[in-house]
Amino acid sequence: MGLKKSKNLFEKAKEYIPGGVNSPVRAFKSVGGHPIFIKNAKGAYLVDEDHNKYIDMINSWGPMILGHAFPPVEKAVKKAIKNSFSFGAPTRKEVEMADLIAEMVPSVEKVRMVNSGTEATMSAIRLARGYTKRDKIVKFEGCYHGHGDSFLISAGSGAITMGTPDSPGVTAATAKDTLLAPFNDLEAVKKIMEANPGEIAALIIEPVVGNMGCVLPKPEYLKGLRELCTQHGVVFIFDEVMTGFRLAPGGAQERFGVTPDLTTLGKIIGGGMPVGAYGGKTEIMDYVSPQGPVYQAGTLSGNPIAMSAGLAMLKHLKKNKDIYTQLDETGFEIVNGIRRTLLELGLNYSINWVGSMYSLFFTEVDVVDFETAKTSDTALFGKYFHEMLNRGVYLAPSQFETLFISTKIDDKLIKKILKANRESLISITK
């Protein structure tokens, strides 16, 4: 498989872009080699600058749940472009999007559009602090909520991949207001809240973690957090940038039957365009300017092109709820196929899976939190990644990322993925 053009582009990129990439995990530092530069994509496939073709198992880190260049989304974008690219003024599409989100997501009564998941989480935390008049927040080790200062404390994902889990540039004053808890440990959260009475504004969590690999909440864990937040007057925030509209039409909160106070959204909500949102109870959202005193603004927020793409995506998902049954079945087939191979080869790796999200961890322990995720053999994962890449399957270039399945993965492609997986595991364990 030739990668000459990608290699040359990476060398050129390093002259003008820090590390040669515009988001750290793309640099392939944790798996070795150089990144693949993508030229185009359609359906289930990516095509790189050297014309190599790959089955895509990250789907732009989640948004492409219906595959690349999904025709209704593409049509909506082309239609919207004719009316110009941006107005900096309200549009009908923003109202339609807000209405649709409120209809689909259980916790959302009002919603504010922003431009990224990071903007959404930063804004939600500021809102929670303004609403409660408290300063501290609780986050979980290994959960990643974007690159806002408050969140880059034991952040997982790109931070741990790059070997800098606590980023320089985050002040000590900011760090002291972020309280850390291990994921899936309800007792630890209880102790934190009891030790900081009347001081905690918000607890933010990925209901299914995607940024230390896919890690599921234990039964009743999310419900327990909901009860603790209610008891202590803490704003309960679900970061559903990844899980929103992916695990169910109403996201993880619909799937698990737990309703937070605020929800942050991104990825699927824009159909592939840069977009984010945060929303929740009216009494909290009415604290946002210009209705209330908590300031947040954005020149391109509610961009008409992004709104058009997102509306087309969400309308399709709302109308075709059987998509989620299909995705569950596809995930089941892939994960069970991998498990059969592991059993056949006598390998004791760990797999976590829910719906269309899964991760294969190169560790023999069950991965339930950040500490167990970090027991993974990242060097072995790097070998596995390249073996899969050489067989035409594009995985996330980090052990600490989840994989995302699209509806374009059919039975034929499942067989190809499982064949590549079996051959790759045999190759790296010889």
**For 47-82, how does the pLDDT look when each residue is reduced to its tens digit (9 = 90+)?**
999 999 999 999 999 999 999 999 999 999 999 999
Say yes or no to pLDDT of 293 above 80.
yes
Categorize the per-residue pLDDT at 176 as very low, low, confident or very high, splitting at 50, 70 and 90.
confident
pLDDT in tens, 242-259: 999 999 999 999 999 999
Taking residues 259-268, what's their average pLDDT? 97
Q: Between 76 and 150, name the one with better pLDDT.
A: 76
Strand order in the sheet with 200-205: 110-114, 276-280, 262-266, 235-239, 200-205, 136-140, 178-181
| pLDDT for 175 | 76
**330: part of which helix (H) or strand (E)?**
helix 322-345
The fraction of the chain above a pLDDT of 70, given in percent, is: 96
Say yes or no to pLDDT of 32 above 80.
yes
* Active-site option among 144, 278, 358, 394: 144
Residues of the chain with CATH 3.90.1150.10: 4-69+321-428
**76: part of which helix (H) or strand (E)?**
helix 71-81
- Superfamily (CATH) of domain 4-69+321-428: Aspartate Aminotransferase, domain 1 (3.90.1150.10)
* Active-site option among 29, 110, 267, 408: 267
* Active-site option among 48, 239, 261, 369: 239
Among the listed residues 220, 221, 252, the one whose alpha carbon sits nearest the alpha carbon of residue 357: 252
CATH architecture of 71-319: 3-Layer(aba) Sandwich (3.40)
Dist. CA 46–CA 56, nearest whole Å: 6
Taking the CA atoms of residue 251, residue 69, residue 40 and residue 276 in that order, the dihedral angle to the nearest 10 degrees is -40
| pLDDT for 166 | 59
Dist. CA 311–CA 303, nearest whole Å: 12
Dist. CA 132–CA 93, nearest whole Å: 32
Categorize the per-residue pLDDT at 157 as very low, low, confident or very high, splitting at 50, 70 and 90.
very low
Which of helix, strand or coil describes residue 342? helix
Taking the CA atoms of residue 96, residue 97, residue 99 and residue 104 in that order, the dihedral angle to the nearest 10 degrees is 140
Name the average pLDDT for the chain.
Answer: 93
Dist. CA 354–CA 259, nearest whole Å: 19
Categorize the per-residue pLDDT at 174 as very low, low, confident or very high, splitting at 50, 70 and 90.
confident
Q: Give Cα separations from 405 to 78, 247, 301 (angstroms).
A: 26, 11, 28
Taking residues 19-44, what's their average pLDDT? 93
Q: Does the predicted model carry a pTM greater than 0.75?
A: yes
Give the tokens for residue 353: 């899976």
| pLDDT for 163 | 35
Among the listed residues 180, 256, 270, 271, the one whose alpha carbon sits nearest the alpha carbon of residue 224: 256
What are the E-state strand segments in 45-132?
45-48, 53-56, 110-114
Task: Assess contact for 182 and 115: CB atoms under 8 A.
Answer: no
Nearest-5° Cα angle at 282, 279 to 288: 65
Q: What are the φ and ψ backbone dihedral angles of 50, each rounded to 5 degrees?
A: -95, 10
Say which range, 154-163, 228-237, 348-357, 416-425, has the weakest mean pLDDT: 154-163
Say yes or no to pLDDT of 137 above 60.
yes
Give the tokens for residue 162: 């790059």
**239 assigned to active site:** yes
pLDDT in tens, 119-130: 999 999 999 999
| pLDDT for 2 | 83
Say yes or no to pLDDT of 164 above 50.
no
The fraction of the chain above a pLDDT of 90, given in percent, is: 88
| pLDDT for 162 | 36
| pLDDT for 147 | 78
| pLDDT for 154 | 58
Say which range, 173-187, 242-256, 332-346, has the weakest mean pLDDT: 173-187
